[in-house]
A and B are shown apart, each in its own frame.
Chain A
């Protein structure tokens, strides 16, 4: 049975479905304050005194070697930096009792004035003694330049506020220890990331840790990471020699997981009067949160480097900053810097078009890169003009332009292909077992893996078992994020299959399916790839507004270059799901805080996730320019979360005449004045 069918039938086995004899349930007493000293803890079973490990960054956007003072302790070390930070742990063999124990932990605090706003953080006192600045990253990209005095300038402050990743299934782990080996079952995007992170955090030899990915109910970047709760669960399993389970509640997810976005840009775009852009200056400020351990060290640089969009930008000088705030560490969320960068440049392009009274799509055409080049900010921008020409045609822009409130987005999606990926194919008793470094966490990896094996080896789909990530079955691996699976994972499968074919050829003279299935074969391939690939995309969105300023998204169309289409249904599903998230980010999703850093969103009903009645009609067309990889495919996962907020914001601008520079757009901003 296909994985997706199994899950829809309710036959999935998620981490909370795991039951083991003697299992302990772990719970966390969490900070009530955004910033405070801890004076006293009573009633806790585990505190920093005993469990003094630190979180290790893994997954997309992981960096190492940040300032040590900023590392996230798994349990608070004398002070807290955000509401929801784990302070102490409790456990019981009864899940209800474990929850009761959380309520019985008493923590005395000495509250301090929280740092909430990222720009304010740069003006405030340093958050920690011994830290020089609240900017944990402060770098410049590009080169200072002197703009032509006759150039037009568009200056904007543009904000993408923080949002929760909100997969249907929250975070969760089960850990067990037999006296030598620690085994972990986890809802994740990468078994190997978790293994590496645990090994480093717990200072354990890697071969004493096995990580198994169970069915994973959505992840969106979040679940590539290692979390304080996971380290504590493993520690407790080893200490008590009993299996330990921790399952996140939705409230914990909203308070203390790794939210995405949270970026402010102050940018100036320069252009000639004919619309040719000449330069970009300014700064990008990432709301890092109180500790490292997320992706806040990586994201300002990643965003700054992409700010040329898909255009030819001759000059650029951009400061990339990440600042400490009293919030949970920022993490990757579907796009992880890509949607922010494209939102910033595309909003500037629309602003420039308005100033020059040009059609925004015509302006984009003038500036689309005619040849592939490396932008002054450091990313290779592929030639994009021809693609844009076909996008305009395929999306019927001319038809919509005069009739509808229409917004258009032009984007470049950088795939996280660097690092490559692994695959293992084992043939035994007439069946094939496949393990890969990245795995489905809501997609359908099993479908395209079976398609490729059918092509490469001629095996029917029903004798192939695609298994989940398991570090004991697969030597090494990276993970599923950044549009990489369709590109490097699929290539690893193709190469591994080729190796088996070659062996059979050597042994039997030529490859036959019979030889394959009657023999025993086992091939592991780590497909190495160092380059960051990219692909182009465009979105078109139309809206109407009701008399209360509510946005009715009418049509949401995509035109993406995904190279060879490995699985059409999966591609369509990625498009629809990503577009819904893009609309949510633009209209309603937000993790808001008050001036004391207290979260205002603590329930899923307030988190702004779209309800089905607000989901528009989707359309998708594909541009198929094959990638240089063996699979010939390109990625799609992040394209809609990049393009849809841009096109939607522009469509709303057209419908209301109001400048849109923030997501989500606050409802009061869109309320139309009444005609007298």
Chain B
């Protein structure tokens, strides 16, 4: 368990972080919580010549309520999100996900910025942020820009971040009063990746669903919205039939692959069932508001 040699930087300011990234384009990588990166280095699956730690940059760990939404700093650890009353109340889908993310040891160190930037399709937070219509703030040489979560994940381990950019903040906009969400994750052993997981966020008006976002984990090359399924929900009363139809559509649009966690068909079937569960849970939470 001895990684290939790398140079380690621990700058104190974001500008300095960006300077180092710019100096070694494509060869430098941000070290946030390290819960994915360090194992990759230890097993020599990756070799990264320059590691830029964010641990000394102050002010990147917070969960703040603003006028239009909640802002979360890139270095906020998963357990701080899990334990946030604000998140539990406003965005139960995110609470669900952080509560089930890996194990407590990982959650105490792993960060939201790392989870999103790493863009592992088995990571839980990409699907949640897509479902919540979150915006991701990234800072680079040309200043700050915002990327919609739904546009952020390009492929497995690939995001819209440029080589010299760093993710600094996530903004989750408030949803309407009668909204709610849920994240349902299916895994076998605690330390397994999920077989499948799904994030659902809904908004209701009267007895109709006016807005529906669905995104998945572990069943495609990247987390992305399931738009065809969302259309089945939008504008309708979420009857048993409508929910089942949308869940089947999610299962049909996913692209799982057979592996020791299960066959492709099995994963689709699991995804269908957990999607139904997630929609029902989201609906009941939205209805309570």
Contact = CB atoms under 8 A, between A and B. Distances in A.
Residue from B3, B188, B262 having most chain A Cβ neighbours under 10 A: B188
Nearest to B263: A668
Interface stretch (B23-31, B80-88, B217-225, B265-273): B265-273
Contact of B192 (A249, A251, A606): A606
A16 to B, nearest CB: 10
Contacts of A611: 189-191
Interface stretch (A93-101, A107-115, A571-579): A93-101
Contacts of A251: 43
Contact of B43 (A587, A592, A603, A671): A603
Contacts of A674: 273
A601 B189 CA distance: 15
A550 B273 CA distance: 14
B94 to A, nearest CB: 23
B206 interface: no
Interface string B236-263: 0000000000000000000000011111
B2 interface: yes
Contacts of A590: 260
Interface in A651-673: 666-668, 671
A610 B189 contact: yes
Nearest to A550: B188
A503 interface: no
B9 interface: no
Contacts of A606: 192-193, 260-261
A588 B262 contact: no
Contacts of B261: 606, 667
Contacts of B188: 550, 587-588, 608, 667
Given A251-B43, A550-B188, A605-B192, A667 B4 contact: no
Given A99-B44, A667-B262, A668-B263, A548 B191 contact: no
A656 to B, nearest CB: 15
B1 interface: yes
A613 B189 CA distance: 8
Chain B interface size, under 10 / 10 to 19 / 20 to 34 / 35 or more:
20 to 34
B186 interface: yes
A667 B186 CA distance: 12
A249 B45 CA distance: 13
Among the interface residues B44, B189, B192, B269, which one has the most CB atoms of the partner chain A within 10 A? B189
A127 B269 CA distance: 40
A181 to B, nearest CB: 30
B189 A588 contact: yes
Contacts of A609: 189
A600 interface: yes
Contacts of B266: 667-668, 671
Contacts of A98: 2
A330 B243 CA distance: 49
A613 B269 CA distance: 25
A671 B269 contact: yes
B105 interface: no
Contact of B259 (A99, A550, A600): A600
Contacts of A605: 191-193
A627 B283 CA distance: 65
Contacts of A671: 266, 269-270
Interface string B112-140: 00000000000000000000000000000
A330 to B, nearest CB: 19
A612 interface: yes
Given A601-B260, A668-B265, A100 B192 contact: no
Nearest to B1: A249
A600 B260 contact: yes
A205 interface: no
Contacts of A588: 188-189
Contacts of B269: 671
B5 A96 contact: yes
Interface in A91-145: 95-96, 98-100, 103
Contact of B2 (A96, A587, A608): A96
A548 B270 contact: yes
A614 B191 CA distance: 11
A606 B39 CA distance: 14
Contacts of B4: 96, 99-100, 103
B83 to A, nearest CB: 20
Contacts of B192: 605-606
A251 B270 CA distance: 29
Contacts of A548: 186, 270, 273
Nearest to A614: B189
Interface in A316-367: none
A99 B2 contact: yes
A571 to B, nearest CB: 27
Interface in A600-630: 600-601, 603-606, 608-614
Nearest to A674: B273
Given A547-B273, A600-B259, A606-B192, 6 more contacts: A103-B4, A249-B43, A550-B188, A590-B260, A668-B263, A668-B265
Interface of B: 1-5, 43-44, 186, 188-193, 195, 259-263, 265-266, 269-270, 273
30 contacts: A95-B2, A96-B2, A96-B4, A96-B5, A98-B2, A100-B4, A103-B4, A103-B44, A249-B43, A251-B43, A547-B273, A548-B270, A588-B189, A590-B260, A592-B260, A603-B43, A605-B191, A606-B193, A606-B260, A608-B188, A608-B189, A609-B189, A611-B190, A612-B190, A614-B190, A667-B188, A668-B262, A668-B265, A668-B266, A671-B269
